[in-house]
Structure 1
Amino acid sequence: MSAASCLLNEDQFLCPICLDVFTDPVALPCGHNFCQKCVTQHWDASDLCQCPICKKVFSTRPELHVNIFISEIAAQFRQSAQQKASRNSSPEKQVFKPGEVFCDVCTETKVEALKSCLVCLASYCKTHLEPHLTAPTLKKHQLVDPVENLEDRMCTKHNKLLELFCTNDHTCVCMLCTVLDHKFHHVVPLKDEYEKKKAELEKTEAGIKENIQQRQLKIQELRRSVELSNENADVVIAEGLKVFTALKGSVERGQAEFIDSVKEKHRKTEEQAEGFVKELEQEISELKKKSTEMEPFLHSEDHLQLLQSFHTLSPTPAVKDWAKVRIHPPSYEANVCDAEESFSKQVKKLFADAKIKKLRRYAVDVTLDPDTANPKLILSDDGKQVHHSNVKKNLPDTPQRFDYCGNVLARQSFSSGKIYFEVEVKGKIKWTIGVVRESINRKGQVPLSPQTGCWTICMRNENEYKALCQTHLSVPLKSPPEKVGVYVDFEGGRVSFYDVGTAAHICSFTGIFCLGKVFPFFNPGPSLGGKNAAPLIICPVNQSE
């Protein structure tokens, strides 16, 4: 030890945090040493895991191991310091670390306490705690983790242990307090009030944790909403750019056509004027020639000669009466109106096409369910076509089958999000399509209306279209659709129908607060002697169109 003392100084073995000789010294990856407990507590109280000296940040908390060599040297320094203190006639007071509780029985070197006794009002190390663990009378004492200032647990007025709680004054009291100052108050054992308050704290803590969790989930929800908004914004911007690019091309073509039509009108006016000018110039030339021929006779003063030669003059050329001839500047207003109408139609068509393209993002695969089909319906093998037959097949009359009306449902059902599918109705003069709830009546006459859980449109007679409600509403269409798109927005409470060919909106059912579980619905209508023999066809949706 003497050799080590010559080379080493005690200051080299002091922890930079507690400023005491190392206890269980550990080395960090950066090379600095600390007490294991000190650096662990330092990290527990900090958001960052870093060296208290050089501030180097560690991405993960280093695994700490006690340095046995430094620990042994530190122990020797500590033992040497204790020996010096024992030889000193007036030893200095032992320095305790903040928050540490030491054994009240130890006389020389104080050892850290293991437990405190609330009856003895003293703290004991492992050795001096032994009687409390073995002696029958002492085993009844209440032991707790080491606490400082046990005298604070005594009633200052009666010098008795504070072991009761007054619920009237909300204060801790001793046994004598209950017969004197708090005689008529309601008092309970300290443990009971402790458990009650602890239960309240646990409940409050649980509520706080739940609130934290709810808010964390809300943060995630909001961030996800922003992400979805960003994704949707990118998609919409891309689609909008395509629309406006097409619109720009359409405007440029329309502009060129407009300019050409105006120039053509001007050219025809110019040609007409030039024709008149040439005709006038020709007449002027002939008239000048006649004037030149007449000039000698006009200047002659010989009566005989004028009269004898007069008959030799050529006749005066015939000329047009130009008094009523006019060139009216053409009106270009019609060209402007035509261009405006054409541009308006093109804009509407472009945005309608963009709308259909957007709806096609929600396309779903739909196939017909033969178990629901009326016995007079003929379904294709792939479940994509249906038409009516006058021959009734012998099929089991199950609860899910339509027995009277020529209806059939899809195999697939939907209850959330947005869906879209397209049905070809080309060549038909009677049909009904839409979506219906699973609870739709399958037997007998089936009334179709939103009140019965059905959102459908139909073609009745030729070019007569209706939205099927309690009172059927006529839907005027400029031309019969060849393909109908069906769009369902569950969150928005909307069922809409579109003419896919013209991208025109046909009609919508709105304000549907609870669509629930729905199935695509089809009725191809009766054959009508072959006039309505064409099938309803569920078309594949091309999202790239």
Structure 2
Amino acid sequence: MASATPAKKMREEATCAICLHLMVNPTSISCGHSYCYQCIVDLHENLNHMQGQQEKYFCPQCRAPFQMSSLRPNKQLGSLIEAFKEMSPEMVCGKHEEQLHLFCEDDGQLICWRCERIAQHKGHTTALVEDVYQGYKEKLQEAMTNLKQLNDECMIQKASARKQIDKWKEMTEVQRKKIQSDFRTLHSFLYQEEKFYLWRLKREEEENLRRLRHSEENLELKSCELISYIMDLEEKSRGSPQKLLQDVKGTLDRCGAVKLETPETHSLELGTVCNVPELYFDIKKMLRIYQVSVTLDPDTAHCELTLSEDRRQVTRGSPQENLDMSSRRFSVFPCVLGCEGFTTGRQYFEVDVGEGTGWDLGLCTESVQRDKNMKQKPECGFWTIRLCRRQGYIALSSPPVNLHLREQPLVVGVFLDYEAGIVSFYNMTNVSHIFTFPQASFSDTLRPYFQVYQYSPLFLPPPEE
């Protein structure tokens, strides 16, 4: 056990008497003692601060005087300290500086002979390292074998996962090409249909123009004939009585025989009509495939809003009293949410805005601010459009976009594709697109959102059967 003494003595010699740790950048002074370089420098600065500038200082151990100019790096001691640090810490007990010859089975620790006698390990099962080494080595090898087997299985599963990834990529690529091919076919079909209808329209135009122009030419000839008779009569009327009466009856008979035939009637209604949405893109029918029933949530309604009994209509009026002012309720702006929450798929609902002069509607996340800090923009969880008297129709994007609608919408459709991150609005009065927000990435529950203005109630019609 005495073999640990040299290591203990080595540690004592390598320990700085100032900081009591292994020396860092050991530095010797004129008396031969060594300290950490920074410890000597700090000592020098502290003494100068407390006692003023000095030329001589005293060794902390032997009190021999020295000057700062006598400091020399002790490279040999530094190398010994580095070698001491590289010694395996498991070989020497950190507490007793004795070699770790024993293994405590209860705690699974290497200990020295002195550790065995302290309360921490008293009564524990201990054994010499040499006696338990082989047994634990075999256990480690067994564990290593098991882990290798698990790793082999893991690699097999990884290869299977890679095959699934490749298969999935292959399937999606096939589907991608099919979609592209189908749409190319559709584009080609629509292009051919467009040419066909334009050709029919052009042919109808030419045929009707030919008939109309023929009728115009006949009328021009008839007009020339009539002008000729008029000129003859004018000349006869200006002549002498003899000339006027000469063959007057024949002249009158010829003039009386002139008739203006009723021109052929040509219909000005086009026969070539192509209602593209009706023929190919019935937007209303397509949207209503995804229509859901939306009702209003009274627990979120601002105190100035009144909901109908069936919770499908909301109007704004005087503040209501005795309402539960929970954090779910909008406290500043006259807003209300729909009861339904959307977390997946495609959803569509309609809002009857009538001829109201102001409204906000769309979708928002469940977690939006509902107090004075509410900001109605996508970054804050809102995807909405607005009608106001001053600015008209606006998409509340970032930045806001003014919307120029050809026809006032009496019913607005709101379409959500959650996975695709799309929120779109439609004018269902003339079945036209209003606005689509830039693609987003949804992770929170989305709910229908409505802000209600004075004299502009909103109504949520139930889905059509």
TM-score bucket (shorter structure): 0.5 to 0.7
Shift of 1:481: 1.0
Q: 1:272 aligns with which of 207, 215, 219?
A: 219
Match of 2:407 in 1: 479
Paired residue secondary structure (1:421): strand
Match of 1:313 in 2: 243
Equivalence map 1:99-118=2 (5 Å): none
Residues 197 and 396 from structure 1, CA distance in 2 versus in 1: closer, same or farther, beyond 3 angstroms? closer
Q: In the alignment, does 2:371 pair up with 1:424?
A: no
Q: In the alignment, does 2:337 pair up with 1:409?
A: yes
Match of 2:3 in 1: none
Q: 1:522 aligns with which of 450, 454, 461?
A: 450
Residues 312 and 471 from structure 1, CA distance in 2 versus in 1: closer, same or farther, beyond 3 angstroms? closer
Q: 1:538 aligns with which of 437, 460, 465?
A: 460
Q: Give CA deviations for 1:176-201 in whole Å, capped at 9, x if unaligned.
A: xxxxxxxxxxxx99997687456424
Q: Which amino acid aligns with 1:208?
A: I
Q: Which whole-Å CA distance do the structure 2 matches of 1:443 and 1:265 have between them? A: 70
Q: Give CA deviations for 1:282-307 in whole Å, capped at 9, x if unaligned.
A: 469879x98xxx9xxxxxxxxxxxxx
Contact conserved, 2:426 with 2:432, CA < 8 A, in 1?
Answer: yes
Q: 1:442 aligns with which of 370, 386, 394?
A: 370
Match of 1:212 in 2: 160
Match of 1:96 in 2: none
Shift of 1:454: 0.9
Shift of 1:223: 4.8
Shift of 1:271: 4.3
Equivalence map 1:125-140=2 (5 Å): none
Residues 470 and 237 from structure 1, CA distance in 2 versus in 1: closer, same or farther, beyond 3 angstroms? closer
Match of 1:459 in 2: 387
Paired residue secondary structure (2:289): helix
Structure 1: stretches of 5+ with no match in the other structure: 1-187, 295-309, 319-334
Which is higher, the Rg of structure 1 or of structure 2?
Answer: 1
Q: Which whole-Å CA distance do the structure 2 matches of 1:220 and 1:447 have between them? A: 42
Match of 2:431 in 1: 503
Paired residue secondary structure (2:328): coil
Q: Which amino acid aligns with 1:313?
A: K
Q: Which whole-Å CA distance do the structure 2 matches of 1:418 and 1:204 have between them? A: 44
Q: Which amino acid aligns with 1:205?
A: E
Shift of 1:367: 1.4
Number of residues of Structure 1 aligned to a counterpart in Structure 2: 308
Equivalence map 1:182-221=2 (5 Å): 196=144, 199-213=147-161, 215-216=163-164, 219=167
TM-score, length of structure 1 as denominator length = 0.46
Q: Which amino acid aligns with 1:368?
A: L
Give RMSD over aligned pairs: 4.9
Q: In the alignment, does 2:301 pair up with 1:381?
A: no
Shift of 1:486: 1.2
Shift of 1:500: 1.6
Contact conserved, 1:359 with 1:420, CA < 8 A, in 2?
Answer: yes
Contact conserved, 1:405 with 1:445, CA < 8 A, in 2?
Answer: no
Equivalence map 1:151-300=2 (5 Å): 196=144, 199-213=147-161, 215-216=163-164, 219=167, 223=171, 258=205, 262=209, 265-266=212-213, 268-279=215-226, 282=229
Q: Which whole-Å CA distance do the structure 2 matches of 1:390 and 1:519 have between them? A: 26
Percent of aligned pairs sharing the same letter:
25
Shift of 1:480: 1.3
Q: Which amino acid aligns with 1:492?
A: A
Structure 2: stretches of 5+ with no match in the other structure: 1-135, 252-267
TM-score, length of structure 2 as denominator length = 0.53
Shift of 1:363: 2.2
Paired residue secondary structure (1:520): strand
Contact conserved, 1:367 with 1:410, CA < 8 A, in 2?
Answer: yes
Paired residue secondary structure (2:244): coil
Residues 460 and 242 from structure 1, CA distance in 2 versus in 1: closer, same or farther, beyond 3 angstroms? farther
Q: Which whole-Å CA distance do the structure 2 matches of 1:440 and 1:499 have between them? A: 27
Match of 1:488 in 2: 416
Q: Which whole-Å CA distance do the structure 2 matches of 1:265 and 1:192 have between them? A: 104
Shift of 1:439: 1.3
Q: Which whole-Å CA distance do the structure 1 matches of 2:377 and 2:210 have between them? A: 57
Match of 1:82 in 2: none
Q: In the alignment, does 2:460 pair up with 1:513?
A: no
Paired residue secondary structure (2:342): coil
Shift of 1:365: 2.3
Paired residue secondary structure (1:392): coil
Q: Which amino acid aligns with 2:160?
A: I
Q: Give CA deviations for 1:182-227 in whole Å, capped at 9, x if unaligned.
A: xxxxxx9999768745642441233213431563476468658968
Match of 2:323 in 1: 395
Paired residue secondary structure (2:153): helix
Contact conserved, 2:294 with 2:462, CA < 8 A, in 1?
Answer: no
Match of 2:291 in 1: 363
Q: Which amino acid aligns with 1:211?
A: A
Paired residue secondary structure (1:313): helix
Q: Which amino acid aligns with 2:243?
A: L
Residues 233 and 488 from structure 1, CA distance in 2 versus in 1: closer, same or farther, beyond 3 angstroms? farther
Residues 284 and 389 from structure 1, CA distance in 2 versus in 1: closer, same or farther, beyond 3 angstroms? closer
Q: Give CA deviations for 1:416-450 in whole Å, capped at 9, x if unaligned.
A: 22222111111211111011111112234632111
Q: Which whole-Å CA distance do the structure 2 matches of 1:438 and 1:352 have between them? A: 37
Contact conserved, 1:438 with 1:518, CA < 8 A, in 2?
Answer: yes
